[in-house]
Structure 1
Amino acid sequence: METREMRYFVAVAEELHFGRAAERLSMAQPPLSRAIQQLERRLGVALLHRGSRAITLTEAGSVLLREARLALEAVEAAERRTRRAAADHPGIVLATKAGASSELLSKLLHAYAAEPNAVPVEVILSGPGEQEGLLRDGRADVALLHRPFDTTTGFATVDLHTEHQVLVLPAGHPLATRPHLTMAEVRGLTDLPLPRWPRRDGTYPDGPGPQVRDHTQLTQLIALGRTCAIMPESVRSHLRDSHAIVPVSDAPPVTTVIAWPPHSKSNPVADLVRTATRL
């Protein structure tokens, strides 16, 4: 299959309408329909159920949609990384969640800069869960991810640091003096509902807690007594007197990992990973 055909099919499969897909691709509808029919003939399978009122995907079409998305992401990633390698002053791009692993990141960048073959490192501070996408589509060469929250499937990884989680709540709250809490007790707090983070599609789950987009917004809402949050213990260094911390005894530990595409042969990425492992 050609990447052009995959782009055509993904547009049709996502829109489930040839007219909208053609408009999205800035092309006429008849050649788009012919291209999909030719693809089906070459593969020997039906990719779409063409009803009088609607188009739906066949089982084969659903598989191709998943695989084509991954293939197109890989092509785009290759293009971005190739252009970066050919720049006048090539460097590497590291993605990490804003407000997370700040002390570790600072130590890593300082230690790597002292290496004899170090190249410039551009740091992208992303929202929750965005590092994975930046790494997959080539906008980043390496990322700091956090299990169990981030998916590391398909990446090469090295574990860097594991820590317990704590509840961050407003200073002066009645629970601030407790030696520890359980997950059930935290979920049962009616005066401090847990925050709601956006899903991958940008929508928010239902619930009483406030909608949050980043770490700064979250800590401000906690200080105002609008919410609380379960966070890695290293968050202590970023909090003010308006916050209190209580360990959560049964919260899963969080492991910070450095991740990169397993097929990457970049010497600077390898040097950065070795530096992180040594730290």
Structure 2
Amino acid sequence: MDDLETRELRYFVAVAEELHFGRAADRLGIAQPPLSRAIRRLEHRLGVPLLERTSRSARLTPAGEVLLSEGRAALAAVAAATRRTRRAGRPAPGLVLALKAGGDSGLLPAILGGYAAQPGSVPVELIFSIGERAAMVRDGRADLALLHHPQNDLTGLDSEPLHTERRVLALAGNHPLAARDSLTLADLAGLPVPRWPEAAIAAPGPPIAEVGELLQLIVLGRVVSLVTESAAARPHPGVAYRPVLDAPPTTLVLAWPANSRSRTVAAFVTAARTAAGEAGPVPVREP
């Protein structure tokens, strides 16, 4: 059997996500009859039904559910390969580092300085994001990202731990808990917490798009949030920070595509490791 083509996968994923041939055809910018024929040819080649069709809609079969999951991953991998190849072939090479504003534990100047001092270093572009750092590395928009473990999902990425530090609670200065010198996780039960876009475990609270939005919601008493101790070192009007004695620590990691063979990426990882070692570990107090 011939290998699947990206066009076939793109057609199928559109139909599987819309569960309607007409809407999928509109989304793809093609007519419905050739789309239907393409899906039937795909089913014939695979030897399994992918969709259960009715006059008004479609439903995925178990085989269709598998191909939807695998097809999305395959299309994402092709898109990432295309982006990385194009960027690698640019006349002026460079690295793209994705990070959250203030989310570098104070290491970024030393990392960038150490990397710039290496022979063959290239310019480093910084892209600030809360919600897409890991995704940007996976899909080829960025070469590396500063993330936090275990809060961020590192699936499909290799990583280097840089700094481990404890977390503290950020809350409104007039919040009743702000009168306490320290807290425990039990004290936070039932309090509204934000939903971070890239969190490995989703929270039920309001979604957060950027750091300024989070701080404003904290000042208004709409949410409380566990943040790194280094983030708490930058005071914000109306926000108080209190230690949470039994909160698990967080580790700042530098992440890059799994199995990367880029010498430029490897050089940057080495510079980050050296900078973190020279800075020394952030102490983590036991509860």
TM-score when scaled to structure 2? 0.86
The match for 2:188 is: 186
2:149 matched to 1:147?
Answer: yes
Q: Structure 1: where are the runs of 5+ without partners?
A: none
The match for 2:247 is: 251
CA displacement at 1:2 relative to structure 2? 0.5
2:13 matched to 1:13?
Answer: no
CA displacement at 1:221 relative to structure 2? 3.1
The match for 1:275 is: 271
- Residue 120 of structure 2 aligns to a residue whose secondary structure is coil
Q: Structure 2: where are the runs of 5+ without partners?
A: 276-287
Task: Report 1:1-279 matches (<5 A).
Answer: 1-101=4-104, 103-128=106-131, 130-171=132-173, 173-189=175-191, 193-197=192-196, 212-240=208-236, 242-279=238-275
Once the two structures are superposed, what CA deviation does each residue of 1:53-107 show, in whole Å capped at 9, x if it has no partner? 3201111111111111111111111111111111111101111123312512232
73-82 vs 258-267, which moves further: 258-267
CA displacement at 1:136 relative to structure 2? 1.1
Once the two structures are superposed, what CA deviation does each residue of 1:134-170 show, in whole Å capped at 9, x if it has no partner? 1111101111121122111221111111111101123
Once the two structures are superposed, what CA deviation does each residue of 1:232-253 show, in whole Å capped at 9, x if it has no partner? 1111232235432211122221
Alpha-carbon contact 2:134-2:198 (below 8 Å) kept: no
CA distance in 2, matches of 1:81, 1:38: 32
CA displacement at 1:260 relative to structure 2? 1.1
- Residue 106 of structure 2 aligns to a residue whose secondary structure is helix
Alpha-carbon contact 1:181-1:249 (below 8 Å) kept: yes
Report the CA distance shift for 1:179/1:23 in structure 2 as closer, same or farther (over 3 A): same
- Residue 217 of structure 1 aligns to a residue whose secondary structure is helix
Alpha-carbon contact 2:16-2:60 (below 8 Å) kept: yes
Counterpart of 1:179 in structure 2: which amino acid? D
What is the Cα-based RMSD across aligned positions, in Å?
A: 2.2
CA distance in 2, matches of 1:199, 1:83: 26
CA distance in 2, matches of 1:219, 1:260: 29
TM-score when scaled to structure 1? 0.89
Report the CA distance shift for 1:82/1:196 in structure 2 as closer, same or farther (over 3 A): closer
Aligned residues: 270
Counterpart of 2:36 in structure 1: which amino acid? S
CA displacement at 1:197 relative to structure 2? 4.5
Report the CA distance shift for 1:171/1:48 in structure 2 as closer, same or farther (over 3 A): same
Counterpart of 2:251 in structure 1: which amino acid? T
Once the two structures are superposed, what CA deviation does each residue of 1:238-276 show, in whole Å capped at 9, x if it has no partner? 223543221112222111111111232211111001111
Alpha-carbon contact 1:15-1:21 (below 8 Å) kept: yes
Alpha-carbon contact 1:187-1:194 (below 8 Å) kept: no
CA displacement at 1:220 relative to structure 2? 2.9
Alpha-carbon contact 1:171-1:223 (below 8 Å) kept: yes
Alpha-carbon contact 2:103-2:146 (below 8 Å) kept: no
Alpha-carbon contact 1:199-1:205 (below 8 Å) kept: no
Counterpart of 2:254 in structure 1: which amino acid? I
- Residue 116 of structure 1 aligns to a residue whose secondary structure is coil
